[in-house]
């Protein structure tokens, strides 16, 4: 060995430092793997839920055409009804019962 060569002790110290660095990197990598595994598991569960939902929806029976709705109730065709409807049509906006009565020249109840 020449005077410029590192001593055996210096090489051993450097090797220990490098070993510590590698051990720290390995631990950080293990922690990352643990976190990523948890994320992967959650994504797998979410994908399975979507598959189940899709399968369930595909298994539902076809609703077919909508059933005909009940016919609209018949509206009265009496003269009083026609007068009331005329008052609403002429008003052009919402009215209270008092306003309808006044428009028809009726005496509204107090």
Per residue in 9-63, pLDDT tens?
999 999 999 999 999 999 999 999 999 999 999 999 999 999 999 999 999 988 7
Alpha carbon distance 55, 50 (integer Å): 8
User: pLDDT class for 109, splitting at 50, 70, 90?
Assistant: low
Please check whether residue 43 is in contact with residue 37, taking contact to mean a CB–CB distance below 8 angstroms. no
Query: Can you point out the beta strands (E) in the chain?
Result: none
- Residues near 97 by beta carbon (within 8 Å), at least 6 away in sequence: 108
Query: pLDDT tens across 57-107, in order?
Result: 999 988 777 777 667 677 787 888 888 888 888 887 888 888 888 888 776
Contact 102, 108 (CB under 8 A): yes
pLDDT of residue 80: 80
């Amino acid at each position: 060995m020449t005077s410029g060569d590192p001593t055996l002790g210096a090489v051993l110290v450097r090797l220990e430092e490098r070993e510590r660095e590698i051990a720290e990197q390995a631990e950080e990598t293990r922690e990352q793997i643990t976190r990523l595994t948890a994320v992967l598991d959650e994504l797998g569960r979410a994908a399975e839920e979507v598959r189940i939902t899709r399968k369930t929806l595909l298994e539902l029976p076809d609703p077919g055409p909508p059933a005909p709705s009940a016919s609209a109730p018949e509206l009265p065709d009496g003269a009083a009804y026609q007068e009331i409807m005329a008052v609403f049509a002429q008003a052009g906006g919402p009215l209270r019962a008092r306003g309808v009565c006044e428009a028809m020249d009726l005496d509204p109840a107090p």
